Protein backbone atom coordinates (compact mmCIF):
# COMPACT_ATOMS: atom_id res chain seq x y z
CA UNK A 1 0.00 0.00 0.00
CA UNK A 2 1.42 3.37 -0.94
CA UNK A 3 1.87 6.21 1.52
CA UNK A 4 -0.86 8.37 0.03
CA UNK A 5 -3.48 5.63 0.29
CA UNK A 6 -2.42 4.91 3.86
CA UNK A 7 -2.61 8.64 4.69
CA UNK A 8 -6.14 8.84 3.29
CA UNK A 9 -7.20 5.83 5.37
CA UNK A 10 -5.73 7.42 8.49
CA UNK A 11 -7.47 10.74 7.80
CA UNK A 12 -10.84 9.11 7.13
CA UNK A 13 -10.94 6.31 9.67
CA UNK A 14 -8.52 6.82 12.58
CA UNK A 15 -11.03 8.60 14.84
CA UNK A 16 -13.76 6.05 14.18
CA UNK A 17 -11.32 3.22 14.82
CA UNK A 18 -10.24 4.80 18.11
CA UNK A 19 -13.87 5.17 19.17
CA UNK A 20 -14.47 1.55 18.20
CA UNK A 21 -11.44 0.35 20.19
CA UNK A 22 -12.48 2.25 23.35
CA UNK A 23 -15.14 -0.40 23.91
CA UNK A 24 -12.40 -2.77 25.01
CA UNK A 25 -9.36 -0.77 26.03
CA UNK A 26 -7.96 2.61 26.97
CA UNK A 27 -5.96 4.32 25.56
CA UNK A 28 -7.24 3.24 22.18
CA UNK A 29 -4.90 5.35 20.03
CA UNK A 30 -2.01 2.91 20.52
CA UNK A 31 -4.10 0.02 19.21
CA UNK A 32 -5.18 2.05 16.17
CA UNK A 33 -1.60 3.12 15.45
CA UNK A 34 -0.43 -0.50 15.69
CA UNK A 35 -3.16 -1.57 13.27
CA UNK A 36 -2.13 1.06 10.71
CA UNK A 37 1.51 0.02 11.12
CA UNK A 38 0.52 -3.62 10.54
CA UNK A 39 -1.43 -2.62 7.43
CA UNK A 40 1.55 -0.68 6.09
CA UNK A 41 3.83 -3.67 6.60
CA UNK A 42 1.66 -6.12 4.64
CA UNK A 43 3.18 -7.27 1.37
CA UNK A 44 -0.21 -7.53 -0.25
CA UNK A 45 -2.88 -5.07 0.92
CA UNK A 46 -6.23 -6.64 1.81
CA UNK A 47 -9.14 -6.41 -0.62
CA UNK A 48 -11.14 -4.39 1.92
CA UNK A 49 -8.63 -2.40 3.98
CA UNK A 50 -11.23 -0.60 6.13
CA UNK A 51 -12.86 -3.89 7.15
CA UNK A 52 -9.39 -5.33 7.76
CA UNK A 53 -8.52 -2.35 9.98
CA UNK A 54 -11.69 -2.70 12.03
CA UNK A 55 -11.11 -6.44 12.51
CA UNK A 56 -7.46 -5.87 13.44
CA UNK A 57 -8.32 -3.03 15.84
CA UNK A 58 -11.01 -5.19 17.44
CA UNK A 59 -8.62 -8.09 18.09
CA UNK A 60 -5.84 -5.85 19.34
CA UNK A 61 -8.19 -3.82 21.56
CA UNK A 62 -9.68 -6.94 23.14
CA UNK A 63 -6.18 -8.28 23.80
CA UNK A 64 -5.03 -4.92 25.19
CA UNK A 65 -8.07 -4.75 27.47
CA UNK A 66 -7.43 -8.26 28.79
CA UNK A 67 -3.77 -7.45 29.39
CA UNK A 68 -4.69 -4.25 31.24
CA UNK A 69 -7.17 -6.11 33.45
CA UNK A 70 -4.59 -8.80 34.25
CA UNK A 71 -1.99 -6.12 35.03
CA UNK A 72 -4.40 -4.22 37.31
CA UNK A 73 -5.36 -7.45 39.08
CA UNK A 74 -1.72 -8.39 39.56
CA UNK A 75 -0.77 -4.89 40.73
CA UNK A 76 -3.77 -4.76 43.01
CA UNK A 77 -2.93 -8.11 44.55
CA UNK A 78 0.71 -7.14 44.99
CA UNK A 79 -0.04 -3.65 46.27
CA UNK A 80 -2.93 -4.47 48.53
CA UNK A 81 -0.95 -7.34 50.01
CA UNK A 82 1.72 -4.88 50.99
CA UNK A 83 -0.70 -2.19 52.01
CA UNK A 84 -3.02 -4.57 53.83
CA UNK A 85 -4.55 -2.93 56.85
CA UNK A 86 -2.57 -4.18 59.81
CA UNK A 87 -4.89 -2.68 62.39
CA UNK A 88 -8.69 -2.67 62.57
CA UNK A 89 -10.34 0.20 60.67
CA UNK A 90 -11.29 1.98 63.91
CA UNK A 91 -7.76 1.67 65.33
CA UNK A 92 -5.53 4.80 65.17
CA UNK A 93 -2.76 2.80 63.43
CA UNK A 94 -5.06 1.70 60.59
CA UNK A 95 -3.60 2.20 57.10
CA UNK A 96 -6.14 2.29 54.28
CA UNK A 97 -4.79 0.27 51.33
CA UNK A 98 -6.40 2.55 48.73
CA UNK A 99 -4.90 5.66 50.36
CA UNK A 100 -1.50 3.98 50.42
CA UNK A 101 -1.73 2.97 46.75
CA UNK A 102 -2.82 6.51 45.80
CA UNK A 103 0.10 7.99 47.74
CA UNK A 104 2.49 5.64 45.97
CA UNK A 105 1.06 6.72 42.61
CA UNK A 106 1.76 10.38 43.50
CA UNK A 107 5.47 9.80 44.03
CA UNK A 108 7.90 10.95 41.35
CA UNK A 109 8.38 8.10 38.86
CA UNK A 110 12.01 7.48 39.81
CA UNK A 111 11.18 7.11 43.53
CA UNK A 112 8.15 4.92 42.79
CA UNK A 113 10.24 2.69 40.50
CA UNK A 114 12.89 2.20 43.19
CA UNK A 115 10.36 1.47 45.95
CA UNK A 116 8.35 -0.99 43.87
CA UNK A 117 11.44 -2.79 42.55
CA UNK A 118 12.93 -3.09 46.04
CA UNK A 119 9.84 -3.82 48.15
CA UNK A 120 7.65 -5.80 45.76
CA UNK A 121 10.32 -7.05 43.39
CA UNK A 122 12.69 -8.06 46.14
CA UNK A 123 15.65 -6.57 44.27
CA UNK A 124 18.70 -5.46 46.19
CA UNK A 125 19.78 -1.85 45.95
CA UNK A 126 22.61 -2.95 43.67
CA UNK A 127 20.11 -4.65 41.34
CA UNK A 128 17.74 -1.67 41.48
CA UNK A 129 20.61 0.68 40.68
CA UNK A 130 21.61 -1.40 37.65
CA UNK A 131 17.99 -1.53 36.49
CA UNK A 132 17.51 2.24 36.83
CA UNK A 133 21.04 2.98 35.57
CA UNK A 134 21.98 4.97 38.63
CA UNK A 135 24.46 4.51 41.44
CA UNK A 136 23.62 2.34 44.42
CA UNK A 137 23.79 5.35 46.70
CA UNK A 138 21.31 7.22 44.46
CA UNK A 139 18.95 4.24 44.55
CA UNK A 140 19.19 4.16 48.33
CA UNK A 141 18.66 7.92 48.59
CA UNK A 142 15.61 7.86 46.26
CA UNK A 143 14.17 4.93 48.19
CA UNK A 144 14.42 6.72 51.52
CA UNK A 145 13.12 9.99 50.06
CA UNK A 146 10.12 8.15 48.65
CA UNK A 147 9.41 6.40 51.94
CA UNK A 148 9.64 9.71 53.79
CA UNK A 149 7.15 11.26 51.36
CA UNK A 150 4.80 8.29 51.74
CA UNK A 151 4.94 8.53 55.51
CA UNK A 152 4.20 12.25 55.38
CA UNK A 153 1.29 11.82 52.94
CA UNK A 154 -0.20 8.98 54.97
CA UNK A 155 0.49 10.47 58.39
CA UNK A 156 2.50 7.41 59.41
CA UNK A 157 5.37 8.06 61.80
CA UNK A 158 8.79 6.68 61.09
CA UNK A 159 9.19 3.43 63.03
CA UNK A 160 11.29 3.82 66.14
CA UNK A 161 14.62 2.08 65.94
CA UNK A 162 16.34 1.12 69.15
CA UNK A 163 19.59 2.98 69.65
CA UNK A 164 22.60 1.11 70.82
CA UNK A 165 23.43 2.03 74.35
CA UNK A 166 26.89 1.90 75.68
CA UNK A 167 27.16 0.08 78.92
CA UNK A 168 29.34 1.58 81.58
CA UNK A 169 32.51 -0.33 82.22
Enumerate domains of the chain plus CATH numbers.
3-81 (1.10.1740), 94-154 (1.10.10.10)
Flag whether pLDDT at 156 surpasses 90: no
Overall pTM surpassing 0.85 (yes/no): no
What is the spatial distance between Cα 69 and Cα 63, in angstroms, rounded to a whole number? 10
Crossing angle between the packed helical segments 3-21 and 29-41, to the nearest 10 degrees:
150
Residue 67 CB coordination number (10 Å): 11
Question: Mean pLDDT for the chain?
Answer: 83
pLDDT for 100-126, tens place per residue?
Answer: 888 888 999 899 888 888 887 788 899
pLDDT of residue 71: 79
Crossing angle between the packed helical segments 3-21 and 49-82, to the nearest 10 degrees:
50
What is the spatial distance between Cα 135 and Cα 10, in angstroms, rounded to a whole number? 45
Amino acid sequence: MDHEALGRLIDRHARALALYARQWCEPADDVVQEAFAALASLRQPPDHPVAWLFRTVRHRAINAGKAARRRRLHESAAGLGWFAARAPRHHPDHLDPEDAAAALAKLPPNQREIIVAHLWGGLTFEEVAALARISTSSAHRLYHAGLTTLREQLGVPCPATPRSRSTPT
